[in-house]
Structure 1
Amino acid sequence: MTDLPLGKTVVSLGANVPSIAKFMDAFEEMANELVAIADTSAEPKLEDQDPAAAYKAAKKLLATRRRRDRVLGGDLFSDPVWNILLDLFISEFEQKKVAVGDACIAADVPVTSALRCCRLLEIRGFIRRERDPLDGRRMLVRLSDTTRANMTVLFLGTAMPKHYRAPDYPESRYR
């Protein structure tokens, strides 16, 4: 600050009050916009969404992943657990029952590796295994209710409940 007498400094600051006030108003407006953007209550709610949109998003992702594997080679991008979850999500929307063997095919890895993935998903509570009511020799797998809801939220980009936290799955010996 320069060596102005106190009176001249006050007059100098007084002349800037209108521009400071404009700056403060603009700053307050920006802060309110940021609060509105961050407010998750403004995001769409899961119950307001069309489940078919989640199905379409999952189908599109699966098609993109398969195209990527054809173009770039699948050996670099192996994700058998995600492949199983995607396949089960899509199959449930299409009301198709999925046998364990079919889930192994969807994993796109050797059968023993795919079976380990299915077991891990079951231990962690992502999927449920049950006997086929029409053929007791066959085991079916399906998504747990929690996993289905979480994947729907993921594909719809909807707001998570404020109290939400990721499921606490039991530890696994596969870790």
Structure 2
Amino acid sequence: MAEIPVPHGSEFSQLQSLVDRVQQIERRISHLPQSNKQSQPTDIDLASIASAIYRARRRRSRFLPEALFAEPAWDMLLELFVTQAFGRQVSVSSICLAADVPQTTGLRYLEILEKVRFVERRYMPGDRRVKMVSLTQLGYKVMRAYLMDGIGNAEVPLPA
């Protein structure tokens, strides 16, 4: 198994800052009030919203230079939320394709998402040649809270 390089200097400071921010978000979402379950959208509803956001981002590249808006980690998080909400699994290579970046770039972003505990990789049962990736419990909660916040602030309508 290859060793993961340990960040140094400013790279370490940036990563530590990101980890601190994730911990703040985790504390914030753990204190969110739990409202009436009947009025809450389902994870499938939220997945529809996440999917619409992802499709809109892909559609944007038909009109504007894609390099202006490169956010591979965000594309990965959206796609992982959708696949998990529907109970599907996704391979590491597929999530890199979904982010529309070269495999090496996708792997770098997956490392960052792992370090902040938003995603985890594991071997596919029965086939150690394939690695699967999924949101961690924290990653799923953060994405769900983000999508719920958009609904609560009327930024995103619930699917019909």
- The one of 9, 28, 35 equivalent to 1:45 is 35
- The one of 132, 152, 156 equivalent to 2:144 is 152
Looking at structure 1, the residues matched to 81 and 136 of structure 2 have their Cα atoms a distance apart, in angstroms, of 10
- What amino acid sits opposite 1:150 in the alignment? V
- The one of 140, 153, 173 equivalent to 2:132 is 140
Q: CA deviation at 1:73?
A: 2.6
Q: Is the 8 A contact 1:100 1:141 kept in 2?
A: yes
Looking at structure 2, the residues matched to 109 and 70 of structure 1 have their Cα atoms a distance apart, in angstroms, of 16
Q: Which runs of 5+ in 2 are unaligned?
A: 1-31, 153-160
- The one of 77, 90, 95 equivalent to 1:85 is 77
User: Over aligned residues, Cα RMSD in angstroms?
Assistant: 2.1
Looking at structure 2, the residues matched to 91 and 81 of structure 1 have their Cα atoms a distance apart, in angstroms, of 15
Q: Does 1:111 align with 2:132?
A: no
Looking at structure 2, the residues matched to 46 and 120 of structure 1 have their Cα atoms a distance apart, in angstroms, of 35
Matches within 5 A, 1:1-175: 45=35, 47-48=37-38, 49=40, 50-157=42-149
Looking at structure 1, the residues matched to 37 and 136 of structure 2 have their Cα atoms a distance apart, in angstroms, of 18
- What amino acid sits opposite 2:107 in the alignment? L
Q: CA deviation at 1:70?
A: 1.3
Q: CA deviation at 1:110?
A: 1.8
Looking at structure 2, the residues matched to 80 and 46 of structure 1 have their Cα atoms a distance apart, in angstroms, of 35
Paired residue secondary structure (1:137): strand
Paired residue secondary structure (2:101): coil
Q: Is the 8 A contact 2:119 2:134 kept in 1?
A: yes
Q: Which runs of 5+ in 1 are unaligned?
A: 1-39, 160-175
- Cα gap change, 1:46 to 1:54, in 2 (>3 Å): farther
- Cα gap change, 1:72 to 1:141, in 2 (>3 Å): same
- What amino acid sits opposite 2:110 in the alignment? C
